[in-house]
Structure 1
């Protein structure tokens, strides 16, 4: 998350007959967000912490929960950042996050459908190239890479969009938040409003750069919420493939020197983290 979000209790929804597949996808995606994808920020409340947290065969230490939804929790721990499936946690921990297996299964199904639809637009046939060795861990890191395929610690690859929505931004010397999104994705719509707010708050110190693989007319037609940051059109999906994007929303945090410091779901990128990167000197 970029800006803190309020936790909204799941609402009851009544659904009539669905007349076609398009409406089914729309309603199912809405359910996924309202009932299944309620990411909760701990910025405005006492943080949830664990000295030890077991997830399957793994044990994490010094854990702080930064957000959760119907299927996962997002944590900071001694080893960095992680997202854990609620189904792999111990029963007493699951209860703290109101884990419901049936609701989680429905949310997973909706996310899989969104991922499949997004990947269909990319027609992926290549993998991102590794250009440098994995970097060493540091207290300043938001996350640490565990594979040569990770972009963390490497320069952001150059991207020349044939078309921009809004003026092409100047990135040199600024913190950049690269945000991959789609008009059809309900989770993306939630974060667009927060990305708009982040751009307004930090002004010239940060650039929020959207990337969409959809046609120009589709991206421009979305009015709720309105996109208030520049968007690069990646209609052939080449940049998204190079960045290793397999689901959306998805973000990259790039420091002032053009080095990628984080890649993944935006829930881990809090306003506090952005302030930290903006405040760092060369």
Structure 2
């Protein structure tokens, strides 16, 4: 790796620290160097709060050094007003002569506009450093904008001999549990890293899962349940107020509540595509 690649690699490591708290925003890391030495670091810590560039700049004690420093960031700096001001304005104001970016932002509000603002201000801009590596770490965000659908993960547990369930016995608690406490904690960690988790009617009835992150500190995902005919009893754990639930159905039998919403779809006409389109609209 050359020097730029090493610093962008560090930016990617920083970006991953925000994985469970930034959605629907991307994970972003930023490093500032002066004379090839790191003088500031930051990452986007939480949705709605300061971006990585702001946190990195704020971490530098001597702001006079910024006029002769390089700012490294994983994603093109934003150029529009959202929940926070444009990062491009701050970068220009601080007088950075050089900015190194891993990936251009696929969000049409930003894409290329941030780079153009920096270049028009006389800043040297380098792009594409460790592009594939960062795209993978930020794959949820890039899939959402490039493919117009959520990033999908399939998760299941199975025994060494290839089974995913056991013969049911309702009189024995947890008889269907084929993994262990370590796996359970890992799964709960995974839940904090995703915006939603989806199950079908049979799983909801047989397993009665709560689908929350109880064994790991973090946010609960949106619980999405496919229930075509709204047959699920309301005493199931997926209907508790510990998290929000979205019911995917063909019927409109129940009204929405504070934490339970209904989405009506045609199950006989491109159901999977329609479902992904609806989830995309929900951000």
TM-score by length of 1: 0.25
Bigger relative contact order (CA 8 A; separation at least 6): 1
Larger Rg: 2
